[in-house]
Amino acid sequence: MSSPPEADLSTDELFARTLQGDEEDEGAWFAIWQLHHRGGEDVFQRAAAWLQSSSPKERGRGANILSQLDFRHRPPERIARFMDALLPALAKEQDAAVLAAMTAALRHLGDDRRGVPALLSLREHPDAHVRFGVVMGLSRFRDAQVLQALIQLSRDSDDAVREWATFTLGSEAREVDTPELREALVDRLSETHVKIRGEALLGLALRKDARVLEPLRRVLEGPVVTTLDVEAAQALEDVSLLPLLLGHREAFDEEDEDHELRAVLFEAIHALESLAR
């Protein structure tokens, strides 16, 4: 396989390309990815300098580049240098798009807690993209103050914020089990957004919370299920759900291209059949 053309560009050319188009421009993100791979002191220094730029676009791209720079080998002292560059910039940033990039970058910078106070201070920011970045940045931590913020964000008005916060509480933090966390997941069972509801179902099933059985049964009785719904059925380990899963297997269209759902469904059926023996 030949290398992509961006691999042959100079570092100057790659940095310039990161500024093309809007925030989601595919070519810009491919250049950022190439810089992540290229790594090195020169890329770090340039990205760090951009964090102090007068241009919001450069400040945001500086955070995007630093977030996963040298991702294949980042000893703690290297990540600490990235944090040393990012945190002063975050403390004074006012632009919402840049704040979103900087807060999201913290998710990729290890378990350094120095960014937590800044993230907590932004959890009620008026821009949903910033609040989404806050959820991402907080998702690595499990202390009570962070969990309370994530519970608050699981009730956010923005779907993406609620979904990521519910996912973090339900699955990513599956080792945490408190009454408050469970209640936050129960609150999301009434969601019309199927992915958020699915994350809540799975989070409660992983904790073997009996309150999830009937809501999960009602979902599985419907004509369409998601991977999350099936994973919840497997996690709950209640064999009374097996006939419903078998019904979905029988209804599965052989031409259906959702290979992930098919694999998860067959795995869940095998697991519950093993329990039923």
- pLDDT at residue 277, rounded to an integer: 82
- pLDDT at residue 251, rounded to an integer: 86
Residue 150 lies in a domain: no
Among 72-81, 99-108, 249-258, the least confident range: 249-258
Q: Is the pLDDT assigned to residue 12 strictly greater than 50?
A: yes
Q: Distance (Å, rounded) from C-alpha 238 to C-alpha 243?
A: 11
Q: How confident is the model at residue 5 (pLDDT cuts 50, 70, 90)?
A: low
Distances (CA, A) of 104 to 43, 54, 59, 180: 20, 21, 13, 25
The per-type count for the chain, helices as H runs and strands as E runs, is 16, 0
Q: Is the pLDDT assigned to residue 259 strictly greater than 50?
A: yes
Share of the chain above pLDDT 90, in %: 90
Q: Is the pLDDT assigned to residue 141 strictly greater than 90?
A: yes
Work out how many domains the chain is built from and give that number. 1
Cβ–Cβ < 8 Å for 268, 231? yes
Residue 142 lies in a domain: no
Q: How confident is the model at residue 270 (pLDDT cuts 50, 70, 90)?
A: very high
Distances (CA, A) of 230 to 162, 182, 194, 254: 21, 20, 13, 18
- pLDDT at residue 258, rounded to an integer: 83
Residue 11 lies in a domain: yes
C-beta pairs of 53-58 under 8 Å, 24+ apart in sequence: 56/95, 56/97, 56/98, 57/19, 58/19
Mean pLDDT of the chain: 94
Q: 60: helix, coil or strand?
A: helix
Q: Is the pLDDT assigned to residue 127 strictly greater than 80?
A: yes
- pLDDT at residue 219, rounded to an integer: 98
Mean pLDDT along residues 129-145: 97
Please tell me the pTM assigned to this model: 0.92
Residue 2 lies in a domain: yes
- pLDDT at residue 3, rounded to an integer: 47
- pLDDT at residue 6, rounded to an integer: 59
Residue 36 lies in a domain: yes
- pLDDT at residue 7, rounded to an integer: 67
* CATH number of domain containing 90: 1.25.10.10
Neighbours of 40 (CB within 10 A): 11
Distances (CA, A) of 109 to 35, 138, 219, 244, 249: 16, 11, 38, 43, 42
Residue 255 lies in a domain: no
- pLDDT at residue 8, rounded to an integer: 81
Expressed as residue numbers, the domain containing 6 is 1-113
Residue 96 lies in a domain: yes
Share of the chain above pLDDT 70, in %: 96
Q: How many residues does the chain have?
A: 277
Of residues 199 and 254, the one with the higher pLDDT is: 199
Residue 132 lies in a domain: no
Q: Is the pLDDT assigned to residue 2 strictly greater than 50?
A: no
Work out whether the CA dihedral 233, 235, 236, 240 comes out positive or negative: positive
- pLDDT at residue 9, rounded to an integer: 92
Mean pLDDT along residues 202-229: 97
- pLDDT at residue 98, rounded to an integer: 98
User: 161-189 pLDDT, tens per residue?
Assistant: 999 999 999 999 999 999 999 999 999 99
Q: Is the pLDDT assigned to residue 227 strictly greater than 50?
A: yes
Q: Distance (Å, rounded) from C-alpha 14 to C-alpha 173?
A: 37
